[in-house]
């Protein structure tokens, strides 16, 4: 199957740079070093032996020029005179020592030098896309495809590159395998890759495909700690899989992902979480209507895919309710209420800025687009956006109402007030996100638990 001369498999490790000088290693020494995974330290010697055989040299240039047309590699070494090997890389007449070449160029040269020198049955590449521009990744993939087509070498590569994954998925003779903690995810779908890439969630994990999973919650929050902690304290640790779509800008991708997941995974509900973000009740209902229209257009299963907005501004807002604080932190109603009031007071100058920015975005999305605006008017929304002072107190000296606070800002202030009150940060962080009647009765959590 293999021998010291014809090795069955060879690992091309990530390039860690070249030594400034290198003595020639024999072919036997290089094969021995390859067993230890550090023959990348002797790239000049490998190139010397590749160029010493005309057919290997021809193959090397065929692959290299498919990535970098016109590039040349010169190996200068006189076995009777020279102490060190000199290797130069030239492109369009400019020649430089190989150790000064761009890392991406070195990566490609190393891969093809390995393939042509060792000629293994299996070539294992560790993130060959590292340091390569997308255009160079295209060329590398084409060259690797040509190498594989020859029939003498199969290629196994590890990558985190979304671009390279898409190339692999769309190639008839390639297959993509998802791994999580060293285990293969058996039910993963190639079609998920572009969408997971778009929302920045390639490392989604195998929890989506666990048999105990009843709900896949696509949340716009990058930090899922709050809702995860709350549901786990409610006894649903293994029943909900979380996947962040990283902000409202990725909503369209999250919806497309929901359709794919509903087709791929049986007996689960797909719930898309959105923050209310200072929308009026009419605007919330308009968004619900737009989602229902989208379900019809996509012919998606409305009994499996749901989209729900938070009752308050965002997820953190739930945990700032005085009723919740009094229950989980053993405070009196008066103590909890005064803490929240003071927390709002301390942020009374910052909170209006958050309202202004959020409303500006909503107004642009609904009232700034003629097409969407016409739909909104037909739905029953006013022709013009409501004035922003609707969310502000009449006097600048007054507190903003709890309902009109920005949850993330308020949460930080509430935590600070709790510590000033005398509670340790350890106590606050360990208890603040636990289950409470105040949160249990909100529409968002009533809906989620109704699915479990």
Q: Are residues 34 and 171 in the same domain?
A: yes
Of 166-175, 348-357, 433-442, least confident by mean pLDDT is: 166-175
Give pLDDT, residue 353. 94
Of 1-5, 25-29, 45-49, 60-64, least confident by mean pLDDT is: 1-5
Q: Are residues 146 and 215 in the same domain?
A: no
Q: Are residues 52 and 172 in the same domain?
A: yes
Interval 153-176 mean pLDDT? 80
Q: Are residues 50 and 67 in the same domain?
A: yes
DSSP, collapsed to helix, strand or coil, labels residue 300 as coil
Give pLDDT, residue 67. 83
On whether residue 220 sits in a domain, the answer given is: yes
On whether residue 442 sits in a domain, the answer given is: no
Residue range 367-388, pLDDT digits in tens: 998 989 999 999 999 999 999 9
Residue range 48-84, pLDDT digits in tens: 999 999 999 999 999 898 888 899 999 999 988 999 9
- What percentage of the chain reaches a pLDDT higher than 70? 89
On whether residue 362 sits in a domain, the answer given is: yes
Q: Are residues 19 and 161 in the same domain?
A: yes
CB of 179 closer than 8 Å to CB of 204 = no
Instruction: Quote the domain boundaries for residue 282.
Output: 190-313
d(CA 101, CA 296): 55
CA distances from 431 to 139, 191, 317, 376, 421 (A): 54, 40, 16, 42, 15
> Which pLDDT band, with edges at 50, 70 and 90, does 262 fall under?
confident
DSSP, collapsed to helix, strand or coil, labels residue 185 as coil
CB of 64 closer than 8 Å to CB of 73 = yes
On whether residue 439 sits in a domain, the answer given is: no
At which of 154, 176, 198 does a domain end?
176
Q: Are residues 71 and 171 in the same domain?
A: yes
39 pLDDT higher than 60: no
Q: Are residues 226 and 267 in the same domain?
A: yes
Average pLDDT along the chain? 86
Q: Are residues 278 and 349 in the same domain?
A: no
Give the predicted TM-score (pTM) of the model: 0.65
Q: Are residues 135 and 240 in the same domain?
A: no
d(CA 58, CA 70): 14
pLDDT: is 237 or 405 the higher one? 405
Q: Are residues 305 and 328 in the same domain?
A: no
CATH number at 109 reads: 3.40.50.300
Count up the domains in the chain and report the number: 3
On whether residue 103 sits in a domain, the answer given is: yes
Give pLDDT, residue 377. 94
On whether residue 438 sits in a domain, the answer given is: no
Of 33-47, 200-214, 290-304, 308-322, least confident by mean pLDDT is: 200-214
Q: Are residues 165 and 229 in the same domain?
A: no
Q: Are residues 19 and 135 in the same domain?
A: yes
On whether residue 446 sits in a domain, the answer given is: no
Containing H/E element for 373? helix 370-379
Interval 236-258 mean pLDDT? 82
On whether residue 182 sits in a domain, the answer given is: no
Most confident of 91-105, 159-173, 201-215, 399-413: 399-413
Residue range 179-207, pLDDT digits in tens: 766 777 665 555 566 556 655 555 555 56
């Amino acid at each position: 199957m293999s021998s010291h001369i014809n090795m069955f498999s060879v690992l091309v490790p990530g390039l860690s740079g070249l030594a400034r000088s290198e003595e020639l290693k024999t072919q036997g020494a290089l094969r021995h070093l390859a067993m230890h995974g550090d023959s990348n330290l002797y790239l000049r010697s490998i190139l010397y032996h590749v160029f010493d055989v005309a057919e290997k040299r021809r193959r090397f240039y065929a692959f290299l020029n498919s990535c970098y047309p016109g590039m040349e590699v010169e190996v200068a070494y006189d076995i009777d005179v020279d102490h060190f090997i000199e290797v130069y890389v030239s492109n369009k007449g400019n020649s430089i020592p190989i150790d000064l070449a761009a890392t991406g160029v070195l990566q490609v040269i190393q891969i093809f030098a390995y393939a042509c020198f060792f000629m293994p049955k299996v070539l294992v590449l560790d993130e060959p896309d590292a340091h390569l521009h997308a255009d160079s990744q295209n060329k590398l993939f084409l060259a690797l495809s040509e190498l594989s087509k020859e029939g003498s070498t199969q290629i196994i590569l590890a990558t985190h590159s979304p671009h390279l994954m898409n190339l692999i998925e769309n190639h008839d003779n390639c297959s993509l395998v998802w791994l999580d903690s060293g285990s293969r995810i058996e039910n993963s779908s190639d079609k998920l890759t572009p969408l997971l890439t778009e929302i920045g969630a390639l490392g989604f994990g195998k929890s989506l495909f666990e048999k105990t999973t009843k709900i896949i919650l696509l949340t716009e929050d990058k930090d899922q700690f709050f809702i995860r902690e709350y549901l786990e304290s409610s006894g649903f640790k293994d029943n909900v899989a979380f996947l962040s779509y990283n902000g409202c800008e990725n909503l369209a991708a999250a919806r497309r992902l929901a359709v794919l997941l509903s087709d791929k995974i049986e007996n689960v509900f797909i719930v898309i979480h959105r923050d209310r973000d200072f929308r009026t009740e009419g605007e919330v209902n308009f968004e619900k209507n737009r989602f229902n229209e989208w379900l019809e257009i996509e012919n998606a299963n409305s009994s499996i895919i749901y989209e729900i907005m938070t009752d308050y501004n965002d997820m953190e807002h739930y945990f700032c309710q005085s009723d919740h604080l009094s229950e989980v932190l053993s405070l009196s109603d008066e103590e909890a209420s005064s803490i929240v009031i003071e927390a709002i007071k301390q942020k009374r100058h910052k909170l209006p800025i958050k309202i202004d920015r959020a409303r500006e975005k909503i107004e642009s999305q609904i009232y700034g687009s003629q097409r969407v605006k016409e739909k909104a008017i037909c739905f029953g929304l006013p022709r013009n956006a409501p004035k922003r002072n609707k969310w502000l107190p009449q006097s600048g000296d007054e507190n903003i109402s709890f309902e009109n606070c920005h949850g993330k800002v308020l949460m930080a202030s509430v935590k600070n007030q709790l510590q000033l009150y005398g509670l340790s940060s350890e106590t606050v962080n360990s208890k603040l996100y636990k289950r409470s009647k105040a949160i249990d009765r909100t529409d968002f959590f009533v809906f989620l638990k109704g699915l479990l």
